[in-house]
Each structure stands twice: as structure tokens, then as C-alpha cells.
A = this chain, B = another copy of it.
Amino acid sequence: MTYSVKFLPHNVSVEVDDNESLIRAAMEAGVHINASCGGGGVCGKCRVLIEEGNVEGGISEQLSAEDQDKGYRLACMSEIASDIVVRIPIESEIDTSRLNQMTGSRHTAKAVYANVDELRQDGLFIPPVEKIYLELEPATAEDNQADVARLINHLRLKHDEHRLTMRLALIRKISDIIREGEFKVTVTIIRPVREDGKNEIVNIEPFDTTDRNFAIAVDIGTTTVFGQALDLQTGEVLSQHGEFNSQISYGEDVISRIIFTEKGDGLEILHQKVIETINTILDKIVKKAGIGRHEVTTITLAGNSTMTQLLLKINPSYIRRDPYVPTSVMYPPFHAREIGIALADHTVALIYPGVSSYVGGDIIAGVMASGMYRSSELTLYMDIGTNAEIVIGHKDWMVCAAASAGPAFEGGGVKFGMRASKGAIEDFSIDPETYEPMIITVGNKKAKGICGSGLIILAAKLLETGVIDSRGKFNRNLDIPRIRKTDDIWEYVLVYKENTQIDRDITITEPDLDNLIRAKGAMYSATLTLLEEIGLTIHDLEKVILAGGFGSYVDLESAITIGLLPEIEPEKVTYLGNGSLLGCKINSLTNALRRDVANVVNMMTNFELASTTSYMDHYMGALFLPHTELNYFPKVKARLERLRKL
């Protein structure tokens, strides 16, 4: 059910879903309400008057009884329960027409998710690792064939399973398990990618355990690592958790990590660090999902080529040296234990294949998750993370390129940067008169920091209101307390410490903005260069897919305003979230993907931006908000000019 919400005095209406919070409805409508704490009724600033209709909640000790009686509520605590009319108290003298020119409704990229039901309908819901329950004929004097032969012959004759193989560790336990289960056992089989490959029996358990079959998906980012536990019966995500990649203290980007591996036992250390991070995540998600480690049959991992080689303890040194050669881009299935992952002996680790030194398995995972390899629309796939990785193409061809962007989108190199978890500022608006902020956080909790999508919006809004200039520097002439210089660094106070979870003022600083500009500059210039190399322009794109762990709420106008995205119609843009993690999830659910992925990797052409002369020019030009060449962004240019005049 949807309701209509009208905001006064702006006289702007918006349609919202049942139970939407009033403050989020206002943000969607582009209506600014002062709000400092992120939600939860702590600061009491988002006081609004319900003139018609009903909301649920909205009452806190920050509201006097008198106000409550008059119909005032806190917007952050009010859930919309009917069509309503809401009046926003405007402290400053500002006329309605000007207010309306300031606002602009939000265009969020449509989120797409992997659809298990679709896989099921298409008959593709066949996980790469399956459990099969067997009732073997007990051994007798007349039929005393070897246990392994009995098992394999049964699978061959009764289950049409062929080309079966197993490792020594399994052979060692088979006789005892068969007898423990009184010749009733469940075997776990990993399917080959090629139809004529070997099926490996990786585990055997007594009796029927087919209802307990779980998988783990892991995205190994340079900055953060995410894991999910999946139920292979239902395809459901049972639990998930993310942690900073603990390699981070040995270098923020892949190059500095590679350099670290070239000294002493640096490779061993970085390998151990990422394994530690993965094992920490495993601890949490396995516990939260209520599953045993021995019930996990696969773990699928994706990362860029350096992360993948560090995971596997393969010297990544040649990745950073001309001509930039990775050791491998395709890997056979491993046993998770072989790598050091704390799962059972039999758990199989599947590593996403990549394309080149700088277009790795994380991108391929995203391309697989996005489905662009099955589409006929010309698509731009952008993974927004520490590295700027871009894929352009469709089902018939694909090209890709990568540049180093730095970790700003993932909260790295940003003073109060954080991942998009509870308390992260994910949306923001600023009163153009008072410069008071409107803060919305993930989960409507007291603010803790700023996530990637919040940072994009922050930069855009600060630019639009002239708080910062196109170089990301604060306007030194604005004399308001929120803009200040601390330890010689200019910053804007988003949330004062009494309204935070961290007992410190949360600010955005000039170095933060500088890191953001370099990150978005790398993304944009990589896109432009790659399009140029294949003789296309922004206008040829039929679809843009954004991926990255920077936050689920991406305001497209803000992304265009800062020059991260080219000017493009919002309806062409979809948001995939963590494409790498999603690709790992889908890989856990359908074996068909593992066949397709090899084709995708083989059809992908890699461009080395480092050896493309125009790239550095494009990059230098992109180190402004939105760009040195404002003609690339005619609509942004027009809007900024219009807003500055108000």
C-alpha cells in the first residue's frame, strides 16, 4: 500500500510505501528538515506538524506535551499510516517558490538481486556441490566388494553418477562411516565445470543429512571482506558479516601490498592476514546461521587478482611490473583447508576466475551476477571500490579496464569513513540559508560515521550550496560554527558529539573530499578512456550497472553532480550492491554459472589504462567537481549556476 505525503509550505507531494518513515519521505521529496542525530529521536530537531492524516509513533521526551497535543511529531520516529499533510517549521524567511527551486526529488538506482525462484524455474538451481542419500546393499560373503567400489557402483547404477573420484582423506574414513550408518550414507559430490570432467566425492556421512547443506560466499575486497552463509536447500541468505581486510595495515592499495610481499616473509604475512579476516567472518556467520562447519560444503571466493593471489599465497610481484602478468586467472577447485580456511576437511573452495592483473574475479563475479553477459543491451558495469574497474559490452563482446581509485568509497582515507552498516550517514541535505544538516543513517541509529553513498551525497550537497568549491575546498567566508578549522584542517560538523554513538564530533574534512575527488576521478576517466578506445561515447550506453559496497542508497543526481557518473537518464541505471558477493552467492546456487563464467572470461578483452596515453589527461581533468570541462556535464553546470543565483 502506498500513501501520498504532502509537505508544506513547499507544497511538494511524494508517494511512499506503507510504514515509510516521515524523514525518509521528506528526503525523497527533496524537502529539507533539520535533523542532526540520524534518527531515533535523540536530537529532537526534526519536529514537524501533522496537519492531516495519521502517523504512528513520532513521540519522544524531546517533544513537550503541548506540542504533542498540537500535532507535532518527530519526523525520524514517525511512520506514515495514511495519506498525510505535513508542515515543516521554517526558521528562516524564505519564500515557497525559492524553497521549491531548491528541492529535487531523489532518483535512486533500481536495485537488482539474484532471484533464486528464477533459477529454480529455469532448472538451474543445482549447486556445484550436492548431497545425495544412498541406501547401499550391505556386504555379504557373496558380495564382499571393496567399500569404495560398492559406493561408486551404487552411484553409477542407481543415480547415474559417473566419472567419480575421491581423495585419500575421504578414502580413509569411508569404511567406518559406511558401517556407522549401517550402509545408509549421504555423499557430497562436487560437480566439474566441464560435463566430461570428474565428479569428486568430497564427503561421506552416516544416514541421511541431505537437509543440512550450506554454502559460504565471500567477497575479498582490498578494503573490506564480506561473507554470507547460504542454505543450499532454499537458496536463502542465513547470515552475513563484513570486516575490514586486516591486510590494510600493510598498505591501503594493491600496489603497496604487493611491495610488502617482496620483503622477507611479506607474502606469508598478507596471506595469513586475509585468512584471519575470512576466518573471523566465518566464525560470526556460521554461529549466527546456526550451522556446523562440517555442514558447509562449498565456499566461493572472489577478489581482484592481487587479493586472489594473496589468498592463495601466490607471489603477486609480477602483477605490478610491466607487462603486468598475473600468475593465473583461472583456478581449479581447492579444498578450503589447503588454503587455511577454517572449514571442514571436505569443504570445497571455488575461486572466481579473473581476466588480467587488474580485472579480477570480483569483477567477473559482478558481471555474472548482473546478467549483462546474457543481455543484448550495451551495458557499462562500474565497480566502485578501492579499484575502479569497468566493463563495457553485452552478450557478444566485452571489454574491461581498471585504475586505482583509493579506498574512499569504502570508508578508507576518510576521517569518519565507515562501511554502510548501522549508524552510517547514508543521506544528507543542507539548509541553504542556515547550513544546518539533515542526516539520515543506516537503520536510523545515532550516527557513527559516513559510508560511501553518504559521502557522494555530502559532496554534492556541499557543492550545490557553495559550502565547498569545485576543488573541494571549504568557502572560507562562511561564518557558521559548523564550518571550522581543527588542527589546521578545514571541516564541516555533520553531527555534534552528544548526538553520535562515538562521543566525538563527526565531520567531513578537506582531505576526505580530496580523496573522494581522486577516487571519482579515476572511475570517470577510466570510463571515458575505455569508451574512447572502443570508439563509443556515453550516449551509446543503454544501461549502467553500479556495483560496490559503498551503500545501498545511491542518489544518482549526486553521483552525476560530483562527476562520478556521466550524465545519463536515471532509468538506465541499476544498482547491484556488492556484485562480487552476489556473484559468489549465485555461484553457490547454480552449477550452470561455472560453465558460463569460463566463456565470459574468454570473451573479455582487457585494456591496460597505464599504457593508454589519454588516460592520464582524462584523470587530471576529472580532479574537479564535477570536471574541469563543464561541457561534459551541461545539466550539472546549468543547475549549479541556477542554484548559485538563488
A interface vs B, CB < 8 Å?
139-141, 143-149, 165-168, 171-172, 174-176, 179, 196-198, 312-315, 317-318, 322-332, 334, 338-339, 356-357, 608, 611
20 A–B contacts, CB within 8 A, in A order: A144-B356, A146-B328, A146-B330, A148-B328, A148-B330, A149-B328, A166-B332, A168-B312, A168-B339, A171-B314, A171-B327, A171-B328, A172-B313, A172-B315, A174-B328, A175-B315, A175-B318, A175-B325, A196-B196, A197-B198
Q: Does A172 lie within 8 Å of B312, measured CB to CB?
A: yes
Kindly identify which residue among B144, B179, B323, B326 contacts A323, using a CB–CB cutoff of 8 Å: B144
Q: Report if A334-B168 is in contact (Cβ < 8 Å); known contacts: A147-B328, A198-B198.
A: yes
Does A144 contact B332, Cβ atoms closer than 8 Å? no
Q: Establish whether residues B146 and A323, one from each chain, have CB atoms under 8 Å apart when the complex forms.
A: no
Q: Do residues A171 and B331 form an inter-chain contact, with CB atoms below 8 A?
A: yes
Is A144 a contact partner of B357 (Cβ separation < 8 A)?
yes
Residues of B within 8 A of A326 (CB): 146-147
Sort A-B residue pairs by CB-CB distance and give the 3 closest, nearest first. A148-B328, A144-B323, A175-B327
Q: Which residues of B contact A175 (CB under 8 A)?
A: 314-315, 317-318, 325, 327
| Bound CA span A172–B167, Å | 21
Option from B143, B172, B325, B328 in Cβ contact (under 8 Å) with A314: B172
Contacts of A145 in B (CB 8 A): 325
Q: Which residue of B lies closest to A174 (CB)?
A: B327
Q: Which residues of B contact A356 (CB under 8 A)?
A: 144, 146
Q: A172 to chain B: which residues have CB within 8 Å?
A: 312-315, 327
Partner of A168 from B165, B324, B329, B338 at Cβ < 8 Å: B338
Bound-state CA distance A129–B611 (Å) is 42
Residues of the B chain whose Cβ atoms lie less than 8 Å from the Cβ of A140: 323
CA distance A324 to B139 in the complex (A): 9
Q: Find the B residue at minimum CB distance from A197.
A: B198
Bound state CA distance, A584 and B204, in angstroms? 32
Smallest beta-carbon distance A331→chain B, Å = 7
Give Cα A331–Cα B334 distance, bound, in whole angstroms: 20
Contact A312 B141 (CB under 8 A): no
A110 CB → nearest B CB, Å: 36
**Chief secondary structure at chain A's binding surface:** loop
> What's the nearest-Cβ distance from chain B to residue A274, in Å?
15
- A351 to B: closest C-beta gap in Å: 10
Residues of B within 8 A of A608 (CB): 141, 144
Q: Are A144 and B179 in contact (CB under 8 A)?
A: no
Closest residue of chain B to A314, judged by CB? B172
Bound CA span A150–B322, Å: 16
CA distance A313 to B173 in the complex (A): 10
Q: Are A329 and B198 in contact (CB under 8 A)?
A: no
Which B residue's beta carbon lies closest to that of A167?
B332
What B residues does A339 contact at CB under 8 A?
168
Known pairs A141-B611, A146-B356 / 13 extra A-B pairs, C-beta < 8 Å: A140-B323, A143-B323, A144-B323, A145-B325, A146-B327, A147-B328, A168-B312, A168-B331, A168-B338, A172-B313, A172-B327, A174-B327, A175-B314
Interchain CA distance A172-B326 in the complex, whole Å = 11
In the assembled complex, the CB of A287 is this many whole angstroms from the nearest CB of chain B, namely 28
Q: Give the Cβ gap from A180 to chain B, nearest Cβ, in Å.
A: 12
Min C-beta distance of A334 to chain B, whole Å = 6
Q: How far is the CA of A611 from the CA of B332 in the complex (A)?
A: 47
Name the distance in Å between A269's Cβ and chain B's nearest Cβ: 16
**Contact call A146/B325, Cβ cutoff below 8 A:** yes
- Bound-complex Cα distance A198 to B199 (A): 12
Write the nearest CB–CB distance from A364 to chain B, whole angstroms.
13
* A141 touching B328, Cβ below 8 Å: no
Closest B residue to A166 by beta carbon equals: B332
Query: A313 to chain B: which residues have CB within 8 Å?
Result: 172
User: A150's closest neighbor in chain B, by CB?
Assistant: B325
CA distance A167 to B175 in the complex (A): 27
Contacts of A322 in B (CB 8 A): 141
A600 CB to closest chain B CB (Å) equals 15
Interface contact B338-A179, CB-CB below 8 Å: no
Instruction: List residues of chain B with CB within 8 A of the CB of A148.
Output: 327-330
> Which chain B residues lie closer than 8 Å to A165 at the CB level?
332
A324 to B326, CA, bound (A): 52
Among the interface residues A179, A326, A327, A329, which one has the most CB atoms of the partner chain B within 10 A?
Answer: A327
Are A179 and B328 touching (Cβ within 8 A)? no
A185 to B141, CA, bound (A): 54
